[in-house]
Structure 1
């Protein structure tokens, strides 16, 4: 029988030698008073670990007994990750007769205060600078794949401070720090160096270009010179290791390093050489006002320098001088009109002259007048147009000419106008005259009439009479008027 078995009735038959028999019955009960026995499978009653992470899962402990056994498991609260502490694991085995066995394991955890220990460190790397774009990222990825460390709390992350791409500029050795961090945020680092080198100068696929610009009224040739300098004479340069933005450009004139201001100054100073036909680069040009010859150099981020070549900038002046002025009006008879006209011409009609590329010289003048005169003259010596006397509408159109250093001629025509807006003057005759009939009204003597510009005027009069009561005796009031050729009228 298998316990528990209670009150088992067992009959017994007793028989003697005489054949007498008797049967009696008694009860038998099987009782289990022995507790279950644990099969600990090498599970120790105490254990110590450097981190809660190291603690294994609880084992599946069983127990044996003559009756069925139920095993239960409970665990006290363990310490937090990285903290020190003690907790217990308890297994309880109970059989059918409630016989109980208890096994308790006490686990002690030490605080994690040690950083990870590197197992496989990163390795140094190198590549030609031409291959940096692909070689460096591949090296960085490879080191992250092999970099490993050990820690009682376990490794939480592997990181590095390396840039995703190799830094631009001169390719100096790059030190990358790799970090292993455990679950307690303790970390350890290791470094590796990626090296490269650059000893090749930039290449110049497009050499600097000779350039000419034409003078303009807005100084466009100087603007184009500035653009030519800024664009390094339109050369093109590239480098196998330095990005274009890290290339530096320098200039020399006559073997001397020069900046943009010095190049412009040298160009302007060349104006003193005059204006003639010159060779700009490989081509001849006429009326070349100024030139500058510059040698260009290109240097990469590591100081490797290439000679880009030389180029010339020239300005061609085909633009005539610009003259500005205004017409003038001379009051007729206000003085010596001929002298005023000649002085005005010798002062170039008070006009101004400008030229953006050259100095200028007043050359000569020509004229036409309202009375049909024409001619050419030189400043200071003439010949000059004579002013027609007593002509209130007379004028002279004078064309002034100026020439720049390149022989370009600018001209401007201005008018010298004689103007008369003064009325004739009547004066000097008696206010009252007594006449005897039948004398007619006297004629106004010419000597009583003058004009600043006209020698022959139209004279007229009007009269009114009064005091006519006595025949043959009366008073006559006469108003005289004189009108010149310009329509100005004076009365008296």
Structure 2
């Protein structure tokens, strides 16, 4: 860029004017900007006499390009390393070359905790002159890892303690961070009530530590479970009350000893009683469970009557007499003296009447049974055959009627001879078969 311009020469001649011609020849050397420039001046007079003068200019490019925009040295965390400037950010100019080639090189040097990044830009002109610019980035890990998946604090029953969660860690500089779990227990008010602290600790390669905790409040709010308690039972008063079972037990979901107590009480009823058996189980945290068996003793059986006679028929027309009601007694499975009440009723019927004897036995619980005897009394019957005595000549048939001819009766016609069209009807036709005197009876 400092090649001197060709000077303007003058020539003198004793005889004539002189013409000067300048010629310039470039001789390339090792590179485009390295060459020899030979300038020749030829002076010619009017008679053709010439004089030659020559200048040789050696042109060299010995200056390196100049880089522009190379970033300054910095320190950065491993998650904050700046990107490489895009092409065209770092440029170069040269005093001789219009175009300068820029090459970029990045080298990484790991250290005990982090790394050093050296970014180098090399600018080369057409003659191989180089300019070098560097940026040094000191990369360190000054941030702790981040724990992922730490569960929230919870309050749970002793039977619902969750398994430890799978907690991981990510770190901007360490690709494989180890996570360690530790647990501590702080006792509570009772054996099955306590606080469980789970702590996850993540440490990266540079010793940065992250910790997270989960607090699990474990409570025993579940009562024990009673086993072997018999079902409720209803028995009759003449049955034996079963003994209380000896195999009733209690277990607790949280473990530990369970205290078991038993109580039996009797509750009178209007008729009978109830036997209440109560088992109470108490765990170490004071939770209780109660189970009860109720045995109800009842009298649901009616008394049994003894001495109730069978139904009978008394025919006064045949000389029978009406008997007196007998003395009927009763027995009961629970009441030693059931009450027996007697009642008598009478109702008329054709040809007599009916007497109903009724005995009702009631025990102390109101269970009742009834027995009865029906005495059918037949009164003497006034029987007539109409018409009266009959006579006929030459035989024939007669229409006969009975009185009474209606009601709760049965009729039976008979004769010494002859026949009846229907001997069981109240109205009949009698047919005689031969002459004679015949007796007809009803």
From the two aligned structures, give the one with the greater strand fraction.
2
Would you tell me which structure has more helix in proportion to its own residues?
Answer: 1
The structure having more radius of gyration, on CA atoms, is 2
Higher RCO by CA contacts (8 Å cutoff, separation 6 or greater): 1
- Same fold flag (TM > 0.5): no
TM, length-normalised to structure 1: 0.38
User: When the two structures are superposed, what TM-score results if normalisation uses the length of structure 2?
Assistant: 0.41
